Structure 1
């Protein structure tokens, strides 16, 4: 008697698209070239969560767009920042993941609800982190 599980009963797993690693630069080959190369930058503080505070009059625009939400399973991300806007001056950038807004968790929120919170709030305290890897993967499966 065969005790193996039929193939159709296995769960479906979606893997992220493969990304090619940066070109290899040997350590002995001009170490200065390697240290200052953007693909070999070991400065990771840019990925730490940070608080962005914005104030806007009722009905005013923040100067940024978001994408994603619960349906995409990857969170809410800043998808556009208008130059010289309040959002730009506060330090928001494309690829920032919005972790929370005014103590509301944005990591598992519907897009519609996130937009509503951002549009209606006059004072916004936003916890974000720069997370371009999930942002680029998320662009392909965004559901609004």
Structure 2
């Protein structure tokens, strides 16, 4: 009854889609203004630039997770309170798009760590992307 058709026997081109993920819960428009999970300020999702100077031997003030293996990018997983990174506006859930003009959207985790640790000045392009950050957390161990 549940027989699978061999790939070569399909009549039309075949596209295999990823498994379905349920969308976030819908919030009625009249309730959105005062709902804690809804924000009309969409500019928070636009890319922004973070500039950090790192003295020799100093900590970055944040951790990253993800990388090429997750296929979702590099994300900020922790920001140390009252650190330079925190004061510059870096937050958990930010996707790192680039660091010092190196594309971070398809980079190995170890290479990303190396670039961040060896740089004295870090110019990062980031965007707040909590949805993919959550998906990335579920997929990876970094």
User: Match of 2:127?
Assistant: 129
Aligned to 2:66, the other structure's residue is in SS state strand
Q: Structure 1 length as normaliser, TM-score? A: 0.83
Unaligned runs of 5+ in 1: 28-32
- When the two chains are superposed, the root-mean-square deviation of aligned CA atoms in Å is 2.4
Q: How many residues align?
A: 135
User: Match of 2:22?
Assistant: 18
CA change 1:5–1:46 in 2 (3 A) is: same
User: Match of 2:45?
Assistant: 47
1:39-94 Cα distance to aligned partner (Å, 9 max, x none): 44221000000000000112211110000000000000000001011111111000
On the 8 A contact 1:59/1:119 being kept in 2, the answer is: no
Distance 1:108 1:81 in 2: 22
CA change 1:73–1:5 in 2 (3 A) is: same
Unaligned runs of 5+ in 2: none
Distance 2:45 2:140 in 1: 22
- Large movers: runs of 4+ above 3 Å: 7-13, 24-27
